[in-house]
Structures are given as structure tokens and as C-alpha cells.
Amino acid sequence: MDSLDAVSLSILLGSLLILAGILSSLAALRFGAPLLLVFLAVGMAAGEAGPGGVPFDDVELAYTVGSVALALILFDGGLRTRYATFRSVLAPSVVLATVGVMLTAALTAPVGVHVLGLGWVEALLVGAVVASTDAAAVFFLLHGRGLRLRPRVAATIEIESGTNDPFAIFLTLLLVEILAGSQHSWPEIAAGLAGQALGGTLIGVVAGRGTAHALNRLALPQGLHAPFVTTVALVVFGFSQVVGASGFLAVYLAGLILGNRPIRAHTAIVTFLDAATWLAQIVMFLLLGLLAWPTRMIWTLVPALAVAGVLMFVARPIAVFLCLAPFRFTWRERAFISWVGLRGAVGIFLASIPLLVGLPNAQLYFNVAFVVVLVSLLVQGWTLAPAAKLLRIGVGRAETPPRRVDLDLPGQLEQELVGYHVGANNPYLRRKLVPSWAKLALVVREERVLAPEEAGPIRPGDYVYLLVPPEKAFALDRFFVDMPPVRAPDSGLLGDFFVGAEITLGSLSEIYGLGIAPDERDKTLATWFAERLGRPPEPGDTLPLGTIALVAHRVVDERLASVGLRLVEPEPPDPPTGRAARLARRLRRFAQGWLNA
């Protein structure tokens, strides 16, 4: 019975450890510490050298868990990436993800030779291991802080971090193979790389399309859609790896394709993967933390710091500036992209491969990678917001995204129902306008469910439910962001130009070409507003007129005095996308539920 007890004990200890990781995130969110760092720290504390004293050196287990976690993270990253974003920055991101990784590795290698006393191939391996930026770390730090960047910059950084992992993995495996003594000629190596990339792409595309098709055809029991997709992702990963294609590339592409097609149970799948990647990430970081030997790391601390320094201040900036030279970015943007080269679990995970294979110096690679990741998360992670400020790259104020309830509507894929709580001050209340693709369906007020006609004007405190195409739901978030009270009335929100309300619709149409019906041409704007609203206007009331919108501006004695012209429908401001933003939100919600219980 002892062995059964041992199993129970390890389940207890393991789950307690994960619980500690989850709860520590509360502290991390409060103090703005990089969350991933906290997970690593908890793992290290529980490990051999920490107070936990748990002996753990199962590299194989860590590698397996790491692979599964990475596959899920990449799949999830693909699933959340919109083609539009992907396409707009594909060229710069892909150059960064391939040439950039290679340059970074090559520029870091001299430190390995001169400071660590390694051979060139070994030094290159050190460079390759720490060359890729980490999607999880980047997403989380960019979004978790409510930092808003110019969309092009944010998209470049995100797509780069999502696509450079497969390449860094290629490079690492290649170098490990060479060091392990395999005799391959360069053409063979190149062919191998091309085969991996091609195979991964092919499998990813086929799997993405096939999964979307299967999902919409098979009548799976409710609740099994999400596990189905998640398992398929792992099958795709495993299959690719077995047949010698790049599994990481395949899952990323499969996710990308699946995420951009109308599929059943989209919300459920995204939610499930959210939870799954969170858990995968926590477990991976805890295991990698456990695997570390902080006491032995002291010996390599100084050379490892040298590697980290060169990586952050020399290799990455040079690689970024060279790779982005053909593209249109300002030097500030390039500098910022250089600084956001956050390293994360991938680095440590890659460093565990030499351990697994049993290369000489394997321990050294691992220790160096571990220190580099720690330093990167600490230094770059914590200075991200100040760096954005210094380089004047942030846009607008930071906002916390609103909570959105997503409801699938069975029977069709085109629309879903999303719900928001209407705060006291948000763009929706101010403009009384939602994009034309969203339709108000229900209003919940004081625990009563009302149709929009019954409810009349929306008030603060209401819950509103809107019908939207699922892929656009996130774009609505910004209309319901709670904003600090405005200092002065922001006339920019009311209109691009202002006109008196006693002019006629016809005179306005002559200048702006609005297509007004002949019988309305002689009406004044004030009369037209009063007729359309059926009540005295209030500043901010918005009515569409032809292709533009008119906004009540000044009202004198219940009659309109001036009108704002909004010439173009407001762009839904950039959506807070990214897995990490959602993860942070979910975690916060989870934590609050926890505290309330």
C-alpha cells in the first residue's frame, strides 16, 4: 500500500504547488510583477535548493510537459490571431522571426566563445536557445499593463513572438544534432529544415481546414467541442513531430486557420483553451523552476549575465534594426521592438533539450538560459511601460477592458450574443452609437429583461446584450470601457465640424452629398432632429443622415442650437486582443470569485 500512498502524496503536493502558483498571481497582479517570473519563483522555492526541498530532476517529464504546453500556447495564439492583423505585418514579423532569430543567435555566440569558453557551435547553441521572444511573456506584458501601442507595432511584436518559436526550435534541434555527432552535410541540413517547414505548413493547413469542417459537421454532444479541438491540436502536433515535420509550426497554422473560420461553439472553445493554456503555462513554469539548481547557478552567474547583457543591448537591437530596415518604422518603434524582446519559457524549454540528449555542458546551457530568462523578465518586463513612455510610443491612456459575456446561439454561426454592464462613463453612453454590425437585442434593467423598444435610452447600470458576428465581438469592448470622467467636453467625440441647427438639410447635402429626399430638403436640422427623436434633444443624441451622422451639440430651451457633423463612422478603436489580456481578466475574475466565496 505504500506505493499507493506515495501516489496520493505526489498528487497532493503537485496540486498544492499549482494552487500556490495560481494564488501567487494575485500578488503579482497587484504589484505588476511579471506573472511568469512568479511561477518560476514558486517552482524554485519548492525545489531542491529552496525551502520546499522537493528533489526533482526528471528532465524527460519537464520536456514532455513543456512540449504539450508550448503546442497548446501556440495553437491558442494562432486561434486568436485575425488574418487582417496577420497579413498587415506578415513581412516584417516573418523576417524578424527567421533572419532575426538567426542574427540574434549569431551575435550572441561570441560571448559564449570568449566568456564561457565554448566552441563556436556550442556558443551558437547558447545563442539559439535564448534567441526567440516568448509569446506568452510578450502578450501578457503588453496587454496585462493596459499599455496601448500603435496597432502596427503591437501586431508586429505579437506575430513575431508567435512565429519565431518554431524557428528557434529548428535551429536548436539542428545544433544539438550536430553536437551529438551526427554527420550531415550542409545541403542535407538545409533540406531537412525545408522539409520540416514545408511539412509543418502542409499539415497545419490541412488540419485547420479539416478541423473546422469536422467541427461543423459532427453532432458532438454539447460540451465536447472544446476538448475535441484541444485534443486535435495535440494530435496534429504529435503527428507532425512523428513524421518529421515541425509540430510547432503545424499547430500554430492549424489554430490560425481554425480561428478565422466560422465554427460552432467558438466561444466555448476559446474559453476552454484559455483555461488549458493557463494551466499548461503554470505547470510548465513550475516544473522548469523545480528543475533549476539555484546553488549551482551561482558559478555561471557572471558569464550568464554577460550573455543576457549582450543579448538585450547588442544582439537583439542590431538584429531588429537590420531586419526592419526595409520596412516603414520610426527609429523609436524599432528601439521599442528591440526592447520588447522578452524571453520566456521557450528559452528554458529549449535549454532542457541538451540535458535530455545528454550533451556535454548541458547543465551550463540550462543555467545560462535560466538566468537570461530571469533577467529579461525582470529588467525588460518591468521597464516596458517606462520604455514606451520614454520612446513616446504608447497611445492614449491605459484602460482596463470591460467584462464581456459571450453567448453562443445554436443553429447558426453568423451571430452571437454578447453582454456588457453599462458603466457610468463609457464611449457607448457618450456617443449613443454602436458600429453598424452590432444590433441591440436585450436590455436588463433592475432585474427585468426588456426589449430595446421597451427600454428606451440606455442608462448607466443597465446590462445590454447585442447581436454581433463572433469575430468582431472583441471590437465592441472598447465601446464599453469605463473611462475616467472627462475634464472638458471633448468636442472631437461629438463631431468633426459644427453647424448651426437652423440651416436646412438641403444646404448641408449640397456640400456633403448626402442624398436627402426632396420633401425633406427644406427642413431645418433642429426640426428634423425633433421629429426623428420624438422628444426634446439632449447633447450627444446621434442620428444617421445619409452616409454621415449628426450629433446634437448645443441645446437651448429644448431646441437644438448647433449640430456636430461626424463625417465618418468612428473606427472601433483598437481592440484589446491577445490571449494574455483575456488570461489576466479571467484570472482576476477567478481570484475575485475566490475571495468572495
Partner 1 sequence: MPLNDLIAPQAVIPALKVNTKKQALQELAERAAELTGRTEREILEVLMQRERLGSTAIGSGIAIPHGKLPKLDKLFGLFARLDRPIDFEALDGQPVDLVFLLLAPESAGADHLKALARIARMLREPEITRMLRDSHDREALYAVLALPPPMA
DSSP notation for 92-125: HHHHIIIIIHHHHHHHHHHHHHHTS---HHHHHH
| Residue 22, number of CB atoms within 10 A of its CB | 18
Residue 395 contacts partner 1 per CB under 8 A: yes
Enter the C-alpha cell of residue 565.
457633423
Q: At closest approach, how far in Å is the CB of 489 from partner 1?
A: 10
Q: How far from 124 is each of 35, 172, 378, CA to CA, in Å?
A: 29, 9, 24
Q: At closest approach, how far in Å is the CB of 541 from partner 1?
A: 18
Distance CA 199, CA 157 (A): 26
Q: At closest approach, how far in Å is the CB of 513 from partner 1?
A: 6
Q: Which of 4, 219, 517, 568 binds partner 1 (CB under 8 A)?
A: 568
Per-residue interface string for the shown chain with partner 1, residues 143-162, x marking contact by CB under 8 A: -------xxx----------
The residues near 286 (Cβ < 8 Å, ≥ 6 apart) are 17, 18, 21, 39, 40, 42, 43, 46
- Nearer to partner 1 (CB atom), residue 14 or residue 151: 151
Size of the site for partner 1 (CB under 8 A): 25
- Nearer to partner 1 (CB atom), residue 492 or residue 534: 492
How, if at all, do strands 439-445 and 448-450 pair?
antiparallel
Distance CA 184, CA 540 (A): 71
Q: How far from 508 is each of 229, 310, 544, 547, 551, CA to CA, in Å?
A: 54, 62, 14, 12, 14
Q: At closest approach, how far in Å is the CB of 562 from partner 1?
A: 7
Per-residue interface string for the shown chain with partner 1, residues 475-494, x marking contact by CB under 8 A: ----------------xx--
Q: At closest approach, how far in Å is the CB of 549 from partner 1?
A: 11
Q: Which of 375, 548, 580, 581 binds partner 1 (CB under 8 A)?
A: 548
DSSP notation for 358-394: T-TTHHHHHHHHHHHHHHIIIIIHHHHHHHHHHTT-B
Residue 342 contacts partner 1 per CB under 8 A: no
Q: Which of 83, 120, 331, 497 binds partner 1 (CB under 8 A)?
A: 497
* Amino acid symbol at 315: A
Residue 547 contacts partner 1 per CB under 8 A: yes
Residue 104 contacts partner 1 per CB under 8 A: no
Residue 244 contacts partner 1 per CB under 8 A: no
Q: What angle do CA 207, 208, 211 make, to 5 degrees?
A: 75
Residue 508 contacts partner 1 per CB under 8 A: yes
- Nearer to partner 1 (CB atom), residue 47 or residue 394: 394
Distance CA 42, CA 20 (A): 7
Binding segment toward partner 1, per CB under 8 A, in 125-133, 374-382, 566-574, 586-594: 566-574
Distance CA 455, CA 133 (A): 50
Binding segment toward partner 1, per CB under 8 A, in 12-20, 177-185, 516-524, 559-567: 559-567
Q: How far from 69 is each of 72, 366, 446, CA to CA, in Å?
A: 5, 19, 44
Residue 391 contacts partner 1 per CB under 8 A: no
Residue 567 contacts partner 1 per CB under 8 A: yes
DSSP 8-state class, residue 149: B
Task: Report 426-455 residues binding partner 1 (CB under 8 A).
Answer: none
Q: At closest approach, how far in Å is the CB of 560 from partner 1?
A: 13
Q: Which of 106, 379, 499, 530 binds partner 1 (CB under 8 A)?
A: 499
Cβ(342)–Cβ(157) under 8 Å? no
Binding segment toward partner 1, per CB under 8 A, in 265-273, 400-408, 471-479, 502-510: 502-510
Q: At closest approach, how far in Å is the CB of 507 from partner 1?
A: 6
- CA dihedral in degrees (216, 219, 224, 230; nearest 10)? -40
Residue 522 contacts partner 1 per CB under 8 A: no
Give the binding site for partner 1 (CB under 8 A).
Answer: 150-152, 395-396, 491-492, 496-500, 503, 507-508, 510-513, 547-548, 562, 566-568
